[in-house]
């Protein structure tokens, strides 16, 4: 008789959701930092604002990536990531609706699409965090 050993890492899904968030967010931050002028022309917000957002996104992406790489993922830190990933779409939609950032049409579409992606990361992270609980 053959014995099959099954091991499960209850953090695998959460780790993947955090890592994907880190890569997408950090990449977006790098683009905003490196190409603030052309991105400003395309999307509408001032290049200085985009550089500030880019620096935040890059640092946030590094922090989320660090969290994903830990042998034990902190539930409290994960909840903080989830909270920020819920706040970002709300702020993005508010920026589009109020016109505070002077989005072009392409910029408004980009902000909404980005909000959907970030909300998706929050949803995946919530699911992953729930999956780490021992019943």
Give a yes or no: residue 51 inside a domain.
Answer: yes
Strands (E) in 69-119, as ranges, are none
- Whose tokens are 């909000």? That residue is 115
Query: Cα separations (Å) of 32 from 16, 19, 50?
Result: 24, 20, 6
Q: Which domain holds residue 16?
A: 12-130
| Predicted structure pTM score | 0.88
Give a yes or no: residue 7 inside a domain.
Answer: no
Q: Return the percent helix, strand and coil in the chain, to nearest 5.
A: 80, 0, 20
Give a yes or no: residue 114 inside a domain.
Answer: yes
Res. 4 pLDDT band, cuts 50 70 90: very low
Give a yes or no: residue 72 inside a domain.
Answer: yes
**Tally of domains in the chain:** 1
81-102 confidence digits (pLDDT tens): 999 999 999 999 999 999 999 9
Give a yes or no: residue 67 inside a domain.
Answer: yes
* Whether residue 10 has pLDDT greater than 60: yes
What is the predicted pLDDT for the residue at 3?
55
């Amino acid at each position: 008789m053959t014995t099959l050993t099954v091991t499960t890492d209850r953090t695998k899904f959460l780790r993947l959701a955090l890592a994907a968030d880190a890569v997408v967010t950090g990449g977006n931050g790098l683009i905003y930092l490196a190409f603030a002028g052309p991105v400003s022309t395309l999307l509408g917000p001032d290049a200085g604002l985009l550089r500030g957002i880019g620096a935040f996104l890059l640092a946030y992406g590094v922090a989320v990536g660090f969290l994903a790489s830990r042998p034990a993922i902190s539930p409290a830190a994960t909840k903080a990531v989830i909270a920020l990933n819920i706040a970002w779409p709300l702020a993005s939609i508010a920026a589009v609706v109020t016109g505070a950032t002077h989005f072009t049409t392409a910029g408004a579409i980009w902000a909404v699409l980005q909000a959907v992606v970030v909300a998706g990361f929050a949803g995946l992270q919530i699911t992953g965090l729930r999956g780490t609980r021992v019943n």
